[in-house]
Structure 1
Amino acid sequence: MFTSTERIKPDAQTIALYLENVLSHKYQIPTFQRDVVWEKENVKKLWDSIYKFYPLGSILVWKTNTKLESHREIGGIKLADNFHSHEYQYILDGQQRTTSLLTSIYGNKIANKENFNPTLYIDLTIELTNATDDISYAKRFLFWDEIDDRDGQIKVNTGRKNRYEDKLIVSLIDIIKNPGEIERNLHKNGYGDFENPYMQQLRRIREVLYN
């Protein structure tokens, strides 16, 4: 007979690896889990906490040989369906955070927000002033509707659109997949010094994703 400490075992994973495991259909979400309530501000605050290296909290996963009825997608991203295995892994606690992280990086769609793109971008020009800075995150982390100026029609977004075109606002997925290209663009535009604040921002967010 197993004790509780033998049955519950912590497993540390980076954000990038955890999401890769989700995408590879390693985890399922049982249908008895409540629906996700996804809000832009909450997603930004989640990333602000991650950006400051605050604990993200645990994701509780139940390993069992029992097959349960499970959701077929997370944030519009399809999960494995009707498969059989000797062991199943169900996310019991952490669905909200998983969906927020997954859609922030890999995009897709949010229920009841079909025309909204949940892909998240980071503005490398926005510096963190101090550990108690609870304001700058709203400008640092951006969704596309906060960047797109629709050819100058949305004046408040024009500065951001220019920084996006100058490769100073980049998506989280590009930081994962094309970090070398982002660094080359910074060097090309004169921001490539090791101590340059834009380079520091890039190193910080990369460390966050792989810490």
Structure 2
Amino acid sequence: MPYADRIKPTQDSIGTYLDNLKNKKYQIPTFQREVVWEEDNVKKLWDSIYKFYPIGSILVWKTSVKLQNYRNIGGHDISDDKDRSEYQYILDGQQRTTSLLTSLYGGSIEGREDFDPALYIDITISEENDNTYKKRFLFWNDIDDKDGSIKRNIPRRKKYEKNLIVKLNDVKENA
């Protein structure tokens, strides 16, 4: 096969991409760095998706070579020990992939055991200036503080109880 024919862009929806990831069709090679994105990066990613901004591409390498790979991503097991004729490794886009996966399906972030990465959306936020993502996209600790010391969370907790703040995965499941 000529080299020019080996590079092919494909276009999948985020849902299809994440379903393929959960079905163990993609692997993360161990030479990839650990997850370093902070909460604000995740919110900005979803804000870009919400506003239909480009979020960049994910570089996937299809090869017959079996590499050592991570067993999980964001607490989700993606390991696949089956021998195959073709493997697919995520070479660029691991931070976005981890953020998308854990935002929708929850999970865990290594070194942050007390943090729930599942994302919620406040459906009452309608303005679209550059900082509304901070109010529109929320993690559970933005909604309900454990020790009751953050009074600003009380209105958000009430919105959550009225289903005005919903889990992002619930939006995906009902779309």
Q: TM-score, normalised to structure 1's length?
A: 0.79
Residue 74 (structure 1) aligns with: 73
CA distance in structure 2 between the aligned counterparts of 1:155 and 1:70, rounded to whole angstroms = 44
Could you tell me which amino acid in structure 1 is paired with residue 92 of structure 2? D
Matched, 1:138 2:138: no
The CA deviation string for residues 142-165 of structure 1, in whole angstroms up to 9 with x for no partner, is 000010145965321010011101
Residue 102 (structure 1) aligns with: 101
SS in 1 for 2:112: coil
The CA deviation string for residues 117-142 of structure 1, in whole angstroms up to 9 with x for no partner, is 0000000000134xxx1111100000
Residue 157 (structure 2) aligns with: 161
Contact 1:65/1:88 (CA < 8 Å) preserved in 2? yes
Residue 173 (structure 1) aligns with: 169
Alignment of 1:41-80 (within 5 A): 41-80=40-79
Contact 2:60/2:90 (CA < 8 Å) preserved in 1? yes
The CA deviation string for residues 19-48 of structure 1, in whole angstroms up to 9 with x for no partner, is 011000000011111112020011111111
Residue 89 (structure 2) aligns with: 90
CA distance in structure 2 between the aligned counterparts of 1:147 and 1:35, rounded to whole angstroms = 27
SS in 2 for 1:155: coil
SS in 2 for 1:82: coil
Contact 2:24/2:80 (CA < 8 Å) preserved in 1? no
Contact 2:71/2:78 (CA < 8 Å) preserved in 1? yes
SS in 1 for 2:135: helix
SS in 1 for 2:89: strand
Considering only aligned residues, what root-mean-square deviation do their CA atoms show, in Å?
Answer: 1.5
Shift of the alpha carbon at 1:49? 1.0
Give the unaligned 5+ runs of structure 1.
180-205, 207-211
SS in 1 for 2:61: strand
CA distance in structure 2 between the aligned counterparts of 1:96 and 1:20, rounded to whole angstroms = 17
Could you tell me which amino acid in structure 1 is paired with residue 87 of structure 2? Y
Of all paired residues, the percent bearing the same amino acid is 60
Could you tell me which amino acid in structure 2 is paired with residue 116 of structure 1? F
Higher helix share: 1
Contact 1:149/1:156 (CA < 8 Å) preserved in 2? no
How many aligned residue pairs are there? 175
Task: From the superposition, tell whether residues 150 and 113 of structure 1 become closer, same or farther in structure 2 (CA, over 3 Å).
Answer: closer
The CA deviation string for residues 54-107 of structure 1, in whole angstroms up to 9 with x for no partner, is 111111111111111001010111112422111110001111100010011111
CA distance in structure 2 between the aligned counterparts of 1:149 and 1:21, rounded to whole angstroms = 35
Could you tell me which amino acid in structure 2 is paired with residue 13 of structure 1? D
Contact 1:122/1:172 (CA < 8 Å) preserved in 2? yes
